[in-house]
Amino acid sequence: MDAIVEAALKKWPNVPHCYGWLALDARGDWYMRDERIQAAGPFPQVKGSRVTHEKLRHFIERNYAGDEHGCWFFQNGPQRVYLQLEAAPWVWRIDATGAVSSHTGLATEVLASYLDEHDRLFLATPIGLGLVHSMDMLAAADAVQAGRWDPQPRQFAELLREYRVELCPAPASAA
């Protein structure tokens, strides 16, 4: 977490959390969802405005984390902005050597692999559950053929429960 964010948390420890205003799609793109977009429909059917500003994207990525309830958030200064997730908190990229990294640039190791009922490939890693990026499926197939991964069938809802992932966090009073 950025030092400036930690300082803001100490200075203003009781800022209310924010819900519904930021989302992560299955390709690792961040989306801003203002009131008009939220009223137009749920994520990901209505995505909102893709965050394309490089410095803002990097700021979000550096201050992205999960809580003890499986809800993922961006710590924006003293305010915790909870995310809506299309599929998982991580989107995995696989390079030509087979190395796996997150959409935020964190390198990781694969502990297990799963295929859900929609034939989406999920990887469990020390930092959590994620979906393999659609553009990296050829590299993923190479890992499976080489015997590095052995995807097991698993229902999507079961994966979310097992790895404690909440796709659409809501305030405790609204849950």
pLDDT digits (tens, 9 = 90+) for 62-88: 999 999 999 999 998 888 899 999 999
Cα separation, 175 vs 173, whole angstroms: 6
Check which CATH number belongs to the domain holding 48 and give it. Answer: 3.10.540
Q: Are residues 16 and 77 in the same domain?
A: yes
pTM flag (> 0.85): yes
Please state the φ and ψ torsions of residue 165, each to the nearest 5 degrees. -115, 125
Q: Where are the alpha helices (DSSP H) in the chain?
A: 3-11, 35-40, 54-62, 137-145, 156-162
Would residue 25 count as lying in a domain?
yes
Q: Are residues 11 and 81 in the same domain?
A: yes
Q: Are residues 42 and 101 in the same domain?
A: no
Structural tokens at position 26: 């299955």
Structural tokens at position 120: 């989406």
Query: In which domain, by residue range, is 26 found?
Result: 3-85
pLDDT digits (tens, 9 = 90+) for 111-148: 999 999 999 999 999 999 999 999 999 999 999 999 99
